Chains A and B, each alone.
Chain A
């Protein structure tokens, strides 16, 4: 069965410092991986995805993610964090099981960026 793990409930970063939000996955076959961000009382916003090709994927708002097949990871990164990046981040993998087309979400990681 497909699964996604986000090992950190919360990540705290100082503004201007680099940030990393971790995600590991378990799939049978080639993974389609996604990152979404959710601001308070809002829906999820798509940030980026990995389907195939270059392991470094660039997305919205200066975020990027690195696909590492050997470590089954897809960590989200940003070189310089902003206070406005504070939000809840979800990693997701496409479900190839019973609910085709569905996304399997990680539990979420709350990112807090302090001035």
Chain B
């Protein structure tokens, strides 16, 4: 099974709302990622978790807060977002992130977020 699932598929939220995006994988992968993707652009890395610890934070604003409750789950908590945060949010996982690793990433279908 090479599936990464994400919920919800679509989310509309106001600038004062608090919401969460969820991601799950059951491939035994130890690295999980959050990406932001604008239309017709490549994905932009936001966060990387390795063995349930935050490994990389690409200078993402604090209104985005990641959480990795266990090795299969990854959440992205959203608060006080701006309209420019509207995008497709992709979750991905890979076997590992080791420097010598050559592991491909498996992506979920994404959550289409609209901030009003």
Q: Which residues of A contact B (CB under 8 A)?
A: 32, 34, 36, 41-46, 49, 51, 88, 90, 94, 96, 99-103, 105-108, 110
* CB contact between A105 and one of B42, B55, B94 (< 8 Å): that residue: B42
**Nearest residue in A to B99 (C-beta to C-beta)?**
A100
A88 touches B40 (CB 8 A): yes
Which chain B residues (23-67) contact chain A, with CB distance < 8 Å?
Answer: 31, 40-43, 45, 48, 50, 55-56, 58
Q: How many pairs of A and B residues are in contact by the CB < 8 Å rule? A: 65
A34 to B88, CA, bound (A): 21
A101 touches B107 (CB 8 A): no
In the complex, chain A residues whose CB is within 8 Å of the CB of B4: 43
In the complex, chain B residues whose CB is within 8 Å of the CB of A44: 43, 90, 92, 105, 107
In the complex, chain B residues whose CB is within 8 Å of the CB of A110: 40
Q: Chain B's nearest CB lies how many Å from the CB of A1?
A: 15
A43 touches B102 (CB 8 A): no
A-B contact pairs, 6 of them (CB 8 A): A43-B6, A99-B45, A99-B48, A99-B56, A105-B42, A106-B42
Q: Chain B's nearest CB lies how many Å from the CB of A23?
A: 12
17 more CB-based (< 8 A) A-B contacts, given A44-B107, A46-B105 = A32-B102, A41-B88, A42-B109, A43-B4, A43-B6, A44-B105, A45-B107, A46-B104, A49-B102, A49-B104, A100-B99, A101-B50, A101-B56, A101-B94, A101-B99, A105-B43, A110-B40
Q: Chain B's nearest CB lies how many Å from the CB of A60?
A: 11
Q: Chain A's nearest CB lies how many Å from the CB of B14?
A: 23
| Given A43-B107, A49-B104: A101 touches B42 (CB 8 Å cut-off) | no
